[in-house]
Amino acid sequence: MSDSRTPQPLQLPAADATRDWVETRTREGLDGVRALVEALRTSPPADALGVLRQWDEVTLRLSNVAAVGSLLSNVHPLEDVRTTCEQAEVAVDKLATELRQDRALYDVFAALDPAGLVAGAARLLDKTLRDFTRAGVDRDDATRARLTEINERLTTLGQDFSRNIRDDVRTVRVAPERLAGLPQDWLDSHPAGEDGLVAVTTDYPDAVPARMFAHDPDVRRDVTVAFQSRGYPRNEPLLTEMFALRHELATLVGYADWASYDAEVKMIKEGPAIPAFIDRIADAAAEPARRDLDVLLARYRQDVPDADALTAADASYYEELVRKEQLDVDAQLVRTYFDFTRVRQGLLDVTGRLFGVRYEPVDVPVWHEDVAVYDVFALDATAPLGRIYLDLHPREGKYKHAAQFTLADGVAGRQLAEGVLVCNFSRGLMEHDHVVTLFHEFGHLVHHVLGGGQEWTRFSGVATEWDFVEAPSQMLEEWAWDPEILGSFATNAAGEPIPADLVERMRTADDFGKGYQARTQMFYAAVSYWFHTDRPADLTSAMVALQEKYAPFPWIEGTHFFASFGHLGGYSSAYYTYMWSLVIAKDLFSAFDPANLFDPEVAGRYRDRVLAPGGSKDAADLVADFLGRPYTFDAYAAWLAR
Ligand SMILES: [Zn+2]
């Protein structure tokens, strides 16, 4: 949080000049990288620090091309700009992969003498060498050729696996009278076809309300079975091949198995720590799960007196009934307190106060008129810490989810941190869920900016371990659940703040089921880990065994959930990460006084010791620096048991 950084923010072009701007910037950026790398290979600086500085310049230039490509391909209103940006992303990916496989370049780093390097530089050298060896650059030619082949095949398999899930939309045809319970606007938009039946597809806008609201249990069951059959059987052989190739890749570069290879660069560090974590959470969740399942089952028995269990086909329906009948939260009433404009201002006020920063609006060229831009300053500073862009409403051609995108990595004295929040919120009243999402995503944005004062690009902003990176955002969600904080900006049309007792009921309703939801998550995490580690021949029976061990609801005959479990592609053996960062988030939050979430001492310490260091230290050390002790499970377990 010093004022010594004076770099200027990036000037974006006008919308119709963007394509040329991106093309030029990509070409010049990548040409610059190639020239720097060639110089490193042939006439490297004499000292280790000089080599690292030149390499960091390569990293910064690659990151700048990648960031603009990734951001504008997702948000720019002009299709030709989006296409150009996608090409830029492909080009930068290709070059980055080439560099990791570059033996001559690796030899330059391997020959460096780390003696005399200060901690940050030594850490950078370590990580850089590890990137190379993980890519197999130090293996013989035949092995490297095989690794290239495996990587290419894995890319194709991943794409085919996702496409099979996306394209396998199934339909259940139902007589209109059997759809009683679904919301009227859903029924109105789903008229019967020529056969007199209504088509209910396995897409979320159909499957979710059908499972949640349809009074007819057979409808819920048919939709659930169809939903959990997507991707089957086509994806089974693809997954089997994917697990085998990942295992082969990991063993070729010297690891026991894929999970060990993957875990090495995460906070959890070791593959076998994953099942230990899964069991620990599953045990902690056992009692809270049973407690809420008993409530669900009791309500179920009012309709099915002799039942001794319910399945996933009935779970969301009865969960919804319990929330409505016993926990008394009216979602329609809740919305009236969350007007978008006031929520956005509230977010800036709350986070400004918490992190000791102020946001000053600036009027600069942007890709769309919806985008609001602010410079972020430390309270007493005149030079900005960074710049943020808020692009918060849906439009055609725009990214459909909610995420933080990097526009520029912050590097002390060289480049200002700039980040973009890309979301799809309504312009009027918001659901409270969306308010929580806004706080969550803003947590990534503020991490990016506050962590943007690093010496090395590699450690800038959110460059922490992947299983930690969600923790600061999950923690910031707590500020969107505090009755007093919400009361400061969540006011209805008459100007009345949201009542504290309504917020308390919302929390209770949100907490209902957290134990069995944790068990469900651990079932998914176990599938993700054991499918990679055991590589079972029969995926269905392996899944059923894990479901019996961990899941709150029994297997439904004929279903194959794993075939549409998309995270087996991107997260591979590391689905546990969501829960891992939640455990850390609860531990971090335990340092705050619930009666004074803005305590400047705690908040300042959190900002300076967890967010500001970016990836310059291991996440476990950041957490320990803030808490004054190593992280523990206690806060999470206490929350679960509450
Ligand atoms: Zn997140």
Q: Report phi then psi at 415, rounded to 5.
A: -150, 135
pLDDT tens for 74-110 read 999 999 999 999 999 999 999 999 999 999 999 999 9
pLDDT surpassing 70 at residue 5:
no
Q: pTM above 0.85?
A: yes
Q: 479 CA to middle of ligand 1, Å? A: 15
Integer angstrom CA distances of residue 374 from 340, 390, 442, 634: 18, 8, 13, 38
CA 419 to ligand 1 centroid distance, Å: 14
How many angstroms is it from 443 CA to the middle of ligand 1?
8
| pLDDT attached to residue 538 | 97
- C-alpha of residue 444 to centroid of ligand 1, in Å: 7
Angle between helices 103-110 and 119-134 (to 10 degrees): 150
| 605 contacts: CB under 8 Å, gap ≥ 6 | 626
Read off the pLDDT of residues 177-208 as tens digits, 9 standing for 90 and up: 999 999 998 999 999 999 999 999 999 889 99
The confidence score (pLDDT) of residue 324 equals 87
Candidates 446, 474, 471, 478; CA nearest to 623 is: 471
C-alpha 387 – ligand 1 centre gap (Å):
20
pLDDT per position as a tens digit, 497-545: 999 999 999 999 999 999 999 999 999 999 999 999 999 999 999 999 9
Q: Would you call 571 helix, strand, or coil by DSSP?
A: coil
d(CA 470, CA 476): 10
Tens digit of pLDDT for each residue in 230-275? 999 999 999 999 999 999 999 999 999 999 999 999 999 999 999 9
Q: What is the mean pLDDT of residues 348-363?
A: 98
The set of residues, in sequence order, having a beta carbon less than 8 Å from that of 200 and lying 6+ positions away, is 171, 172, 173, 174, 179, 190, 206, 207, 210, 219, 223
Ligand 1 midpoint to CA 614 (Å): 16
- What is the CA(440)–ligand 1 centre distance, in A? 6
Amino acid found at 344: R
The letter for the amino acid at 272 is P
Pick the closest to residue 55 from 117, 108, 113 (CA basis). 108
Q: How confident is the model at residue 328 (pLDDT cuts 50, 70, 90)?
A: confident
The predicted pLDDT at position 2 comes to 44
Residue 176 Cα, ligand 1 centroid: separation in angstroms? 39
Cα 35 to ligand 1 centre (Å): 36
CA distance 45 to 626: 38
Burial class (CB in 10 A: 0-12, 13-18, 19+), 101: middle
Length of the chain measured in residues: 642
Residues 6+ apart with CB under 8 A from 455: 120, 411, 412, 616
For residue range 116-174, what is the model confidence (pLDDT) as tens digits? 999 999 999 999 999 999 999 999 999 999 999 999 999 999 999 999 998 999 999 99
Of 263, 261, 258, nearest in space to 247 by CA: 258
Does residue 448 surpass a pLDDT of 90?
Answer: yes
Q: Give 204 Cα–ligand 1 centroid separation in angstroms.
A: 21
- Judged against a pLDDT cut of 70, whether residue 4 lies above it is answered with no
At 6 the pLDDT is 75
* Per-residue model confidence (pLDDT) at position 604: 98
Asked whether 461 and 449 are in contact (CB, 8 A), the reply is yes
473 CA to centre of ligand 1 in angstroms: 6
pLDDT tens digits, one per residue of 375-429: 999 999 999 999 999 999 999 999 988 999 999 999 999 999 999 999 999 999 9
Report whether the peptide linkage leading into residue 183 is cis, meaning its omega lies within 30 degrees of zero: no
Alpha helices in 214-272 (DSSP H): 217-227, 235-252, 258-263
Distance 180 CA to ligand 1 centre (A): 36
Q: Check residue 1 and give its pLDDT.
A: 45
CA of 403 to the centre of ligand 1 (A): 7
**Closest to 476 measured CA to CA, from 503, 441, 510:** 441
**What spacing in Å lies between the alpha carbon of 441 and ligand 1's midpoint?**
6
SS3 category, 118: coil
The CA 471 to ligand 1 mean position distance, Å, reads 8
Sheet architecture: strand order including 357-362: 357-362, 372-378, 386-391, 417-422, 403-408
H-type alpha helices, 135-234: 141-167, 184-188, 204-213, 217-227
Ligand 1 mean position to 439 CA, how many Å? 10
Q: How far is the CA of 582 from the centre of ligand 1 (A)?
A: 11
Please give the distance, rounded to the nearest whole angstrom, from the Cα atom of residue 409 to the centre of ligand 1: 18
Instruction: Check residue 328 and give left, alpha or beta (phi > 0: left; psi -120 to 50: alpha).
Output: left
Compute the mean pLDDT over every residue in the chain, rounded to the nearest whole number: 96
Under DSSP, the state recorded for 393 is: S
Do residues 628 and 503 touch, judged by C-beta distance below 8 A? Answer: no
Beta bridge partners of 362: 373
Q: Is 58 left (phi over 0), alpha (psi -120 to 50) or beta?
A: alpha
Quote the ligand 1 centre to 463 CA distance (angstroms): 13
Rounded Cα–Cα distance for residues 430 and 434 (Å)? 6
Tell me, in angstroms, the distance from the centre of ligand 1 to residue 472's CA: 9
Query: How remote is the CA of residue 149 from the centroid of ligand 1, in Å?
Result: 32
